[in-house]
């Protein structure tokens, strides 16, 4: 069968696929509250069993939501890991929705035509259902070119234990896979598929200062601010400590942080060059509600910094009395929530140690670090089979993709990349919007294109990788 | 009549006085919610009319609680301003009270003996009732040595307009007074009456940074923190701005702030010397829950700094995501709530201007100041008649007072001092505790001593001031 004919099968079964996708979307699966999680895990399991694989649920801890796993063996030479997520964000203010958040309503929306409105359709249950249905089409037509290990998690919006624990536990088996895929609606609002060959890592922590024996500050609750002449304030302490972490242009100044920052490779720079041609800085910063960039240079230089440099960001600050009015208090503690985006070859462990050494060297031994879950960076070469397959698949559909050597955001793809050593990619046609917000939507035509593109990626990968077996 | 005999009248009428005080205490008068404010204002008015003055209610604005005024003319040569307050703080968690907050319950409490438990008894309706009853005793016995303008406010816990507006409006009349008095339970837990001959001022403001055209930061809400490489963060901006305002020992470093700080006078230093002998630094810092002071030196040097130096304190910090967890966000704004305690001869206007100049000089023109109500400092000479009267009154009752040349806290006494030019004092026997907290109390024996001490202060003042008419 040709790829074109296989795509025709999607057209033929589209009504059934759309209705099956809507069935999954109508099922709530809110990881933050747990609503509908179990039912959804089983529904995903059912879809996997229809592919001919035996679904299993794995829980990383007592309170973990299940990871849906399964092994589809079609007797192919190559094996893929397919990662997906079935959990969604809470609905938020129901009054801001024009349609029921779990109604899977299809309406017209300019300039897209028909769109499907539902929590999770764009992020990412629409793509999850579509990719499983695309694989079913291949399996039913005996045209599935790869075996698959499924890793469909229900804790993506929370950051849970199930996925990393399972991956570590099954490292030997999973690391034998040839490629890892995440399929998602990858087109931007202009219909250009965006692909990233890497993700920055993210080290997240709170820095906390409080009254201690060392500094003398209040250790039994707040003190009247008239005592500030002679009683130590943990708030000033925290402000002084963190103020040393970036310079006046807000570039990281943590001692040694830049030592491990690799310059981009010639391939990376080639991609940046291409990207710069398409990149519209004004449109980009307008989308963010910013009036200008804080860094200067050519579009190429700016993108190079954006993509390959680390950042130190304050996500939140909290101390004392924060309302309007005039409570005069010397607070007993203060905290700053901080994330550091790390790039190759920075590591989580070294980054944390450098922050603490930096503070210690300046005498801030009373400032404590509280850790949260982190993501290492991940990266795949533009010349890897998965990368080429992905670009060629988009071109097959008549779309020249916009390729980013790294995405500035962070995702758990390091599990494939750094833990398992399996090159990964994230691709797909289709467009969705308003993820995490009311009236989350996906373009219906794009949902069909998406299924076809999943098939194309698998086929292109097999084609390319078979050339050098 | 001798002072001793007049005090005996208090003993004789004590049951009646206590019951009248309890009647006022049982009436809620919560300025924050307005509960019972009007009734209480009228009840205070009734007590003033029983002195032979015509009570009037003055409101500084539409939403203001009434200031109760009245002029008692006993045909004396000298006239006093008597300031008081009839409003109280909210009850808070009712479950934490062992007795009804407006029950005026009398119980035994170690080591004090009988205490009266009621919201506002210590701060300051107990003293208000007691001082009006002490004056009634003098009037009834034709022994009131001064005419009085009453200024009893119902907005002390809020900071309202009625008192300052009335004082400004009646400046000519009120500035002719010879002395201003605030009577309060002034004994500490050891039974030593504490007197302060001044109050620091307090300049209160928020410093706010947000995305602006100038800096480019987010102007339409938060931005994903992966954009931090090239999008300006108002949070870093604020942290850098405020970090320049104190040094690493948390001493103010605002340009020019120290220029107007007067060294203490020889009289002041004399008082500090005496104070230092009684001062127990360890007990003091233990009470605050602090393990040490951040300044060093002899007790005298420490007290000199504490009393006569300004402080810059962060009352609160707020930006972005402040809960536990890992929301990765570049917040569009950040604020720091700051109070600066000012000492002679600093002014509010100059202090504000110095902060803004300091920030401007360092390029922080995007950091905005949001003002709240301020208090200038106020001060009375230890050799003024009111000061001497107050010390001698305490000594008459066998108590050597602990005299502070300035109190580190702030109060609206500048209205008497700097606006009207009338020297003021705050004095009284009696002990109360747990102001603003559950189970607020006053020692019953002290409440009776307090009434006597009010009479003594009036008498001593008349005696001393008559010597140099």
- Please provide the DSSP assignment of B183-212 as one string: E---B-TTS-BEEESEE-EEEEEEEEEE--
pLDDT in the model for residue B411: 87
Asked whether the beta carbons of A246 and A252 are under 8 A apart, the reply is: yes
Does the beta-carbon distance from B314 to A233 stay under 8 Å?
A: yes
Measured over the CA atoms of residue A12, residue A16, residue A21 and residue A22, the dihedral's sign is positive
Residues of A (321-340) whose Cβ lies below 8 Å from B = 321-323, 325-332, 334-335, 337, 339
Task: Output b/e per residue, B417-435; b: 16+ Cβ within 10 A.
Answer: bebbebbbbbbbbbbbbbb
Strands B146-153 and A402-404 come out as unpaired
What residue in A sits closest to B313 (Cα-Cα)? A228
Instruction: Choose the closest CB to A313 out of B213, B225, B313.
Output: B225
CB B220 within 8 A of CB B333: no
d(CA A27, CA A120): 10
In the DSSP assignment, the letter for residue B419 is I
Distance of alpha carbon B109 from the chain centroid = 27
- Does position A54 have pLDDT exceeding 90, yes or no? yes
Percentages helix, strand, coil for chain A (3-state, rounded to 5) are 35, 25, 40
Measure the CA–CA gap between A222 and B288, rounded to whole angstroms: 8
Are the beta carbons of B313 and A225 separated by less than 8 Å? Answer: yes
Partner B contacted by A194 (CB < 8 A): no
Which chain B residues contact residue A366 at CB under 8 A?
Answer: none
* Cα nearest neighbour of A373 on chain B: B326
Task: Output the CA torsion A459→A463→A466→A468 (10° steps).
Answer: -140
Crossing angle (nearest 10°) for helices B3-25 and B37-49: 160
pLDDT at B429: 98
Q: Is-contact A208 A422, C-beta < 8 A?
A: no
Contact A218 B288 (CB under 8 A): yes
Name residues whose C-beta falls within 8 Å of residue B50's C-beta, 6 or more positions apart in sequence.
B136
pLDDT of the residue at B177: 98
Of A386, A377, A379, give the one whose Cα is nearest residue A177: A386
Q: What is the H or E stretch that residue B334 is in?
A: strand B333-342
Nearest CA in chain A to B323: A316
Handedness of CA A24, A26, A30, A33 (dihedral sign): negative
Closest chain A residue to B320 measured between Cα atoms? Answer: A316
Q: Are A319 and A238 in contact (CB under 8 A)?
A: yes
Residues of A in contact with B248 (CB under 8 A): 240, 363
Q: What is the mean pLDDT of residues A367-396?
A: 95
Span A64-72, average pLDDT: 98
- CB atoms < 10 A from the CB of A189, how many? 10
Higher pLDDT among residues A7 and B189, named by residue: A7
pLDDT (0 to 100) of residue A468: 72
Give me the pLDDT at residue B326, please: 87
Which residues on chain A are in Cβ contact (under 8 Å) with B410?
A: 226, 328
Contact residues, chain A, for B291 at CB < 8 Å:
211-213, 216, 219
DSSP H or E segment with residue B295:
none
In the predicted structure, residue A419 carries a pLDDT above the cut 70: yes
Chosen from A228, A292, A336 to mutate, greatest number of chain B CBs within 10 A: A228
**Exposure string over A392-410, b if 16+ CB within 10 A, otherwise e:** bbbebeebebbbbbbbbbb
Q: Do A389 and A460 contact (CB within 8 A), yes or no?
A: yes
Q: For chain B, which domains are there? A: 3-199+377-466 (3.40.630.10), 201-261+309-371 (3.30.70.360)
Taking CB atoms and an 8 Å limit, are B243 and A243 in contact across chains? Answer: yes
**Phi, psi torsion values for B415, nearest 5 degrees:** -60, -40
Q: Which residues of B123-148 are buried (b: 16+ CB within 10 A; e: fewer)?
A: bbbbbbbbbbbbbbbbbeeebbbbbb
Q: Closest partner residue to A341 among B226, B325, B334, by Cβ?
A: B226
Which pLDDT value is given to residue A325?
86
Contact indicator for A404, A275 with CB cutoff of 8 Å: yes
Angstrom distance (rounded) from CA B160 to CA B201: 17
Distance CA A430, CA A450 (A): 5
A250 touching B (Cβ < 8 Å): yes
Interface A-B: count of C-beta contacts within 8 A: 256
Q: Which of A86, A183, A187 is nearest to A458 (CA)?
A: A183
Residue A446, judged by CB atoms within 10 A of its CB (0-12, 13-18, 19+), counts as buried
Q: What is the pLDDT, as a whole number, of residue B201?
A: 95
Dihedral, CA of residue B137, residue B140, residue B145 and residue B149, to nearest 10: 80
**B212–chain A Cβ distance below 8 A for any pair:** yes
Tokens representing residue A172 in the block: 């030997």
Interface check for A409 against chain B (CB to CB < 8 A): the answer is: yes
Which among A147, A154, A161 is positioned nearest to A60, based on CA atoms? A161
**Taking each helix axis from N to C terminus, what angle separates A444-466 and A385-396, rounded to the nearest 10 degrees?**
130
- State the CB neighbour count (10 A cutoff) for residue B269: 15
Residues B252, B246 contacting (CB under 8 angstroms): yes
**With contact defined as beta carbons under 8 Å apart, do B191 and B450 qualify?**
no
| Sign of the four-CA dihedral B159, B160, B163, B165 | positive
Compute and round to an integer the Cα radius of gyration of chain A: 24
Binding-face residues of B in 213-242 toward A, CB within 8 A:
213, 215-221, 223-233, 235-236, 239-240, 242
Minimum Cα–Cα distance from A327: chain B residue: B315
Question: Do B291 and A321 count as a contact with CB atoms less than 8 A apart?
Answer: no
10-residue averages of pLDDT along chain B (469 residues): 96 98 98 96 98 97 96 97 96 93 97 97 97 98 98 91 96 97 94 95 97 91 93 97 97 98 94 94 90 95 97 97 91 97 97 98 97 92 94 97 93 92 96 92 98 98 87
pLDDT at residue A469 is higher than 60: no
Interchain CB distance below 8 Å, A312 and B228: yes
Average of per-residue pLDDT across A239-261? 98
Provide the CA B223 distance to its chain's centre, in angstroms.
Answer: 43
**Residues A150, A156 contacting (CB under 8 angstroms):** no
The DSSP output letter for A122 is T
Q: How far apart are CA B35 and CA A324, in angstroms?
A: 22
Between the alpha carbon of residue A136 and those of residues A4, A132, A444, A452, the distances in Å are 16, 6, 19, 12
Task: Give chain A's mean pLDDT.
Answer: 95
Residues near A360 by beta carbon (within 8 Å), at least 6 away in sequence: none
- pLDDT tens per residue, range A311-320: 999 999 999 9
B14 token code pair: 């004590």
Check CB contact under 8 Å for B231 and A285: yes
Q: CA B435, CA B322: separation in Å to the nearest integer?
A: 31
- Ranges of H-type helices in B95-227: 125-140, 162-169, 171-174
The A residues from 256 to 295 touching B (CB cutoff 8 Å) are 285, 288-295
Which candidate in B157, B158, B224, B226 is best for mutational testing of the A interface (most A CBs within 10 A)?
Answer: B226
Contact of B290 with A218, CB cutoff 8 Å: yes
What residues pair up with B30 in beta bridges, in sequence order? B35, B88
């Amino acid at each position: 069968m040709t790829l074109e004919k296989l795509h025709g099968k999607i057209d033929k079964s589209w009504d059934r696929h759309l209705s099956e996708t809507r069935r999954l979307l109508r099922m709530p699966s809110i990881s933050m509250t747990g609503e509908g999680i179990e039912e959804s895990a089983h529904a995903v399991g059912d879809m996997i069993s229809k592919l001919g694989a035996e679904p299993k649920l794995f829980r990383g801890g007592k309170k973990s939501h299940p990871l849906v796993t399964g092994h589809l063996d079609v007797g192919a030479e190559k094996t893929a890991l397919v990662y997906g997520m079935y959990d969604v964000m809470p609905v938020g203010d129901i009054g801001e929705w024009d349609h029921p958040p779990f109604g899977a309503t299809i309406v017209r929306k300019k300039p897209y035509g028909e769109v499907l409105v539902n929590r999770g359709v764009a992020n990412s249950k629409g793509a999850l259902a579509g990719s499983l249905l695309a694989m079913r089409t291949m399996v039913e037509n005996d045209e599935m070119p790869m075996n698959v290990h499924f890793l469909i998690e229900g804790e993506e919006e929370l950051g849970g234990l199930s996925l990393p624990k399972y991956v570590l536990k099954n490292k030997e088996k999973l690391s034998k896979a040839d490629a890892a895929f995440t399929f998602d609606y990858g087109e931007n609002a202009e219909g250009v598929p965006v692909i990233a060959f890497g993700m920055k890592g993210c080290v997240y922590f709170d820095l906390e200062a409080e009254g201690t024996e060392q500094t003398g500050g209040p250790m039994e609750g707040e003190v009247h601010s008239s005592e500030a002449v002679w009683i130590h304030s943990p708030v000033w302490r925290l402000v002084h400590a963190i103020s040393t972490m970036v310079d006046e242009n807000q570039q990281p100044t943590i001692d040694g942080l830049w030592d491990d920052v690799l310059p981009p490779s010639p391939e990376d720079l080639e991609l940046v060059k291409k990207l710069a041609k398409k990149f519209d800085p004004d449109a980009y910063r307008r989308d963010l509600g910013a009036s200008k960039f804080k860094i200067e240079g050519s579009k190429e230089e700016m993108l190079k910094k954006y993509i390959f440099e680390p950042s130190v960001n304050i996500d939140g600050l909290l101390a004392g009395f924060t309302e309007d009015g005039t409570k005069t208090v010397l607070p007993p503690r203060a905290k700053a929530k901080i994330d550091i985006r790390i790039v190759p070859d920075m590591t989580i462990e070294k980054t944390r140690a450098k922050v603490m050494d930096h503070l210690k060297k300046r005498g801030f031994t009373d400032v404590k670090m509280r850790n949260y879950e982190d993501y290492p960076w991940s990266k795949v070469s533009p010349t890897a089979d998965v990368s080429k397959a992905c670009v060629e698949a988009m071109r097959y559909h008549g779309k020249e993709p916009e390729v980013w050597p790294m995405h500035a955001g962070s995702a758990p793809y390091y599990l494939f990349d750094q833990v398992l050593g399996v090159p990964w990619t994230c691709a797909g046609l289709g467009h969705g919007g308003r993820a995490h917000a009311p009236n989350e939507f996906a373009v219906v035509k794009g949902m069909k294109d998406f299924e076809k593109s999943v098939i194309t990626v698998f086929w292109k990968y097999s084609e390319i990788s078979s050339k050098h077996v």
